[in-house]
Structure 1
Amino acid sequence: MTRQITELAAAEGLAFDLERAVSVNTIDAHRLSHLAAAHGLGGQMHERLLRAHLCEGEIVDDPDTLVRLGAEVGVPEGEARRTLNSDEYPDAAQATR
C-alpha cells in the first residue's frame, strides 16, 4: 500500500518516503500550526510539517523538532517552545479527529 501511495505522490511531483514516516500523536504539531496561523504562517507551517513527516521521516511529536520546524517558517522559537510546554490551543486536539 505504501508503495502505491508513494508512486501516486511521485506522479504528482511529490517525493514521499513513507518507509521512513513514523506514526505519532500529532496534537502538538496541530498546536504549533495554530500558533503559526496566529503569525500568518499557517499554510507554510502545515506544508512544512507534512514534508517533514511524509518525505523526510522527521518525528513530528518531538518538541525540539517542532520548534526547529516552526523556526524554519518564521515562528519565533521562544513562542513555539512556550506553546508546546503549555496548554495553549486546546482545540487543536479536535482538529485531529
Structure 2
Amino acid sequence: MRVEIWSDIACPWCYIGKARFEKGLAAFAHREDVEVVHRSFELNPNLPKGVTAPVIDTLAKKYGRTLDEARAMEEHVASNARSEGLEYRTEGRDSGNTFDIHRLLHLARERGRQNELLDLAYRANFAEERSVFDAETLVRLGVEAGLDEAEVKAVLADESAYADAVRAEEREAAELGANGVPFFVLDRRYGVSGGQPAEVFTQALEQAWQGRVLQPIGGAADTAAPACDADGTCEV
C-alpha cells in the first residue's frame, strides 16, 4: 500500500504531522508493506527566490498582530512539536521560497534518500539556526542526506531541473482537493488532512488496508486537525 504525503518544508504542521504519522505507522501491523512517498506543495509559491524575512515579523504582519502576539502563536505551535519529541525554535527562523527544496527532494527520491533529506530540512528549518533558503545550506543538507555533492549543485544551478515534476505534483494536489497541508492520500482511495494524532493515522491505515471507506479523497478525517492552507496561513 502506498501513502503519499503532500507537504511543504515551511509548514510547521507538516513537520509535526510527519512525526505523528510515523508514530501511527509504527503501530500498524502491516507497516513493512507500506511505501511512503513525499510530494510537493508550496504554501507561498509567489515569494521571490532569495528573499527571506524573519518568521515572527511575517506572522505579525500577516495576521495583524503585535510581535509579542506573534511570538505567542509560535510558542503554541512549538509546544505541539515538543510534545512529539521534536525540537522547535520560536526565534531566529526565516521564511522564504521553497521551490528549490522541492526540486532537490525529487532528486533525493530518485536516489532513495528523500526521507533523509526531508528530515534534515525540517530539522534545519525548525530546530537549528540554519536557513534552508540558500543554495549553500541546501548543498550541505543534500550531502548529509547521502547525495552526491556535484549532482546536488548541478540540480540547484539548473532552474529547470525537476521543475516540471514539482508543478505536476502541485496540480495533482489541487485535483485531489487538497487546499492545505499536510495532506495524506492512502492507496489513492482515502484522504486524511492535517496533523492528526498518531492513533488517527493508525486507524486510517487499518481501514485502508481492509478496504473499508474512511473518507473520499479531498476530505478530512473525522477529527479536525491543524494544517497550513494554500495561502500560507497556518492554524495555531
Instruction: Normalising by structure 1, report the TM-score.
Output: 0.91
Match of 1:88 among 139, 150, 161: 161
Match of 1:10 among 43, 66, 82: 82
Query: What does residue 127 of structure 2 align with?
Result: 55
1:95 to partner: Cα distance: 5.2
Moved over 3 A (4+): 93-97
Q: Which amino acid counterpart does residue 33 of structure 1 have in structure 2?
A: L
Q: Aligned Cα RMSD in Å?
A: 1.6
User: 2-side partners of 1:52 and 1:78: how far apart?
Assistant: 21
Q: Compared with structure 1, are the counterparts of its residues 84 and 23 closer, same or farther at alpha carbon in structure 2 (3 Å cutoff)?
A: same
CA displacement 1:76-97 (0-9 Å, x = unmatched): 0000000000010013256566
Secondary structure of 1:14's aligned partner: coil
Say which structure is richer in helix: 1
CA displacement 1:12-51 (0-9 Å, x = unmatched): 1111113222101010011111111110001111111111
User: 2-side partners of 1:38 and 1:29: how far apart?
Assistant: 14
User: 2-side partners of 1:83 and 1:71: how far apart?
Assistant: 13
**Does the CA-based 8 Å contact 1:25-1:61 persist in structure 2?**
yes
1:52 to partner: Cα distance: 0.5
1:61 to partner: Cα distance: 1.8
What stretches of structure 2 of length at least 5 have no aligned partner? Answer: 1-72, 171-229, 231-236
Q: How many residues align?
A: 97
What stretches of structure 1 of length at least 5 have no aligned partner? Answer: none
Give runs of aligned pairs for residues 18-97 of structure 1, distance below 5 A.
18-86=90-158, 87-90=160-163, 91-93=165-167
Larger Rg: 2
User: 2-side partners of 1:50 and 1:40: how far apart?
Assistant: 18
User: 2-side partners of 1:94 and 1:20: how far apart?
Assistant: 33
User: 2-side partners of 1:18 and 1:82: how far apart?
Assistant: 33
User: 1-side partners of 2:120 and 2:105: how far apart?
Assistant: 10
User: 2-side partners of 1:4 and 1:39: how far apart?
Assistant: 36
Instruction: Normalising by structure 2, report the TM-score.
Output: 0.39
Q: Which amino acid counterpart does residue 2 of structure 1 have in structure 2?
A: E
